[in-house]
């Protein structure tokens, strides 16, 4: 990747990193990131429209004088004084991003334009939460950053996949054209506490179904693969990438341990001691057959690799959902199926 390393290093010398904006900060990943940034002594402004995020995710942070919470939709411009911006605002679960697909692509594209415009004005560094979905249904396995992907441009996942691809592109041209100090991370399937019980993603669905004794809904024959990263590892990677000097990315962040969806269902059944049956349902259109990150770049440039095994991460996530369901859970708490 061609980057003007001198310019980035110069910007670095004149910039503080104290005031941080997290868009999508009340969501699953965003709330963990806000916590981590506060623990590192930063001032954090959490910006969210609460589409899939919840005030409860950050309620425990609200008393902290260094934490602010603002209801704002990033399809509209944002004017704040800030040093760093993590752009996480975007529904991530297929169920939620397909609910209003036009809104989803507006969030990715207009949201990117607005955070990049803000970064340009105030000379902030801005990190884009991109996704393994930019690789689509990948023909190269595992996926390195140099792979351009295999994405259906007109399918039901395109609002998300193409929105994220367009956002990456915008980040690169604001960088090349305007010298904006950008970072791009491609996040692979990440799970953990604070996913919504009705989120629709596979880990939360299976755990909630197993705990309730409902059938585990495996789409297709369950032979498709994913690689699951625990949230703490992922947040560590985001912060490391933001702190990098002279490296724009993109960089893959994910756990390279790969499992079939059927293996995941069996793991969840064992860990919860559930006797739920497995119910096979039709595979959604364009569902990628395989996915595993090549993390050589993250290892080399960030000194990062995941530390939490699937079993360890699932145990923590099961404990979270167990508590949540016992307390009655947030409104609308049925697993999507």
Q: Which residues bind ligand UDP (CB under 6 A)?
A: 93-94, 189, 201-202, 205, 217-219, 224, 226, 261, 284, 287, 337
By CB under 6 A, the residues from 108 to 147 that bind ligand NAD are: 129, 131
Of the candidates 20, 21, 46, 73, which one interacts with ligand NAD according to CB under 6 A? 73
217 binds, among ligand NAD, ligand UDP, none (CB under 5 to 8 A by kind): ligand UDP
Angle between helices 202-212 and 310-326 (to 10 degrees): 60
Nearest to 149 by CA among 130, 176, 175, 172: 130
Pick 248 or 293: Cβ nearer ligand UDP: 293
Which region among 71-79, 113-121, 242-250, 312-320 touches ligand NAD (by CB under 6 A)? 71-79
**Is 182 within 8 Å of 7 (Cβ atoms)?**
no
Record the tokens describing residue 217, joined without a space: 């809904």
Count of positions (residues) in the chain: 337
From the list 182-190, 206-214, 243-251, 267-275, the region that binds ligand NAD by CB under 6 A is 182-190
Which residue bears the tokens 């990438």? 241
Residue pair 309/232 in contact (Cβ under 8 Å)? The answer is: no
Q: Which residues are catalytic?
A: 160
Burial class (CB in 10 A: 0-12, 13-18, 19+), 177: exposed
Helices (H), 47-187: 94-97, 101-122, 158-178
Using the contact rule CB under 6 A, the part of the chain among 26-34, 175-183, 271-279, 308-316 near ligand NAD is: 26-34
By C-beta, is 72 or 201 nearer to ligand UDP? 201
Kindly write out the interface string for residues 38-57 of this chain, putting x where it contacts ligand NAD by CB under 6 A and - elsewhere: ----------xxxxxx----
CB of 106 to ligand UDP, least distance (A): 20
- Say which entry of ligand UDP, ligand NAD, none residue 119 contacts (CB below 5 to 8 A, set by partner kind): none
CA distance 81 to 212: 46
């Amino acid at each position: 990747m061609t980057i003007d390393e001198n310019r980035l290093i110069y910007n670095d010398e004149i910039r503080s990193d104290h005031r941080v904006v997290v868009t999508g900060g009340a969501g699953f990943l965003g709330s963990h990131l806000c916590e981590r940034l506060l623990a590192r002594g930063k001032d954090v402004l959490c910006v969210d429209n609460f589409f899939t995020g919840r005030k409860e995710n950050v309620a425990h942070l609200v008393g902290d004088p260094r934490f602010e919470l603002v209801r704002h939709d990033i399809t509209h411009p944002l004017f704040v004084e800030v040093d760093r911006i993590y752009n996480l605002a975007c529904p991530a679960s297929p169920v939620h991003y397909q609910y209003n697909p036009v809104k989803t692509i507006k969030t990715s594209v207009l949201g990117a334009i607005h955070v990049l415009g803000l970064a340009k004005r105030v000379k902030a560094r801005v990190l884009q939460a991109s996704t393994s979905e930019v690789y689509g249904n990948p023909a190269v396995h595992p996926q390195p950053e140099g792979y351009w992907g295999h994405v259906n441009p007109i399918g039901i996942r395109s609002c998300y996949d193409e929105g994220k691809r367009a956002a990456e592109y915008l980040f690169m041209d604001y960088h090349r054209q305007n010298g904006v100090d950008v970072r791009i991370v491609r996040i692979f399937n990440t799970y953990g506490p604070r996913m919504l019980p009705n989120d629709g993603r596979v880990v939360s669905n299976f755990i909630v179904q197993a705990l309730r004794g409902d059938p585990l809904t495996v789409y297709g024959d369950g032979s498709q693969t994913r690689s699951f990263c625990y949230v703490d590892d992922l947040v560590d990677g985001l912060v490391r990438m933001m702190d990098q000097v002279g490296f724009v990315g993109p960089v893959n962040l994910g756990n390279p341990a790969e499992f079939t969806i059927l293996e995941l269902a069996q793991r969840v059944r064992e860990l919860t001691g559930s006797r739920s049956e497995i119910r096979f349902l039709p595979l959604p259109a364009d569902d990628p057959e395989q996915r595993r990150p090549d993390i050589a770049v993250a290892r080399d440039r960030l000194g990062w690799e995941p530390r939490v095994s699937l079993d360890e991460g699932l145990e923590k996530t099961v404990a979270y959902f167990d508590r949540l369901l016992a307390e009655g859970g947030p409104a609308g708490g049925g697993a999507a199926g």
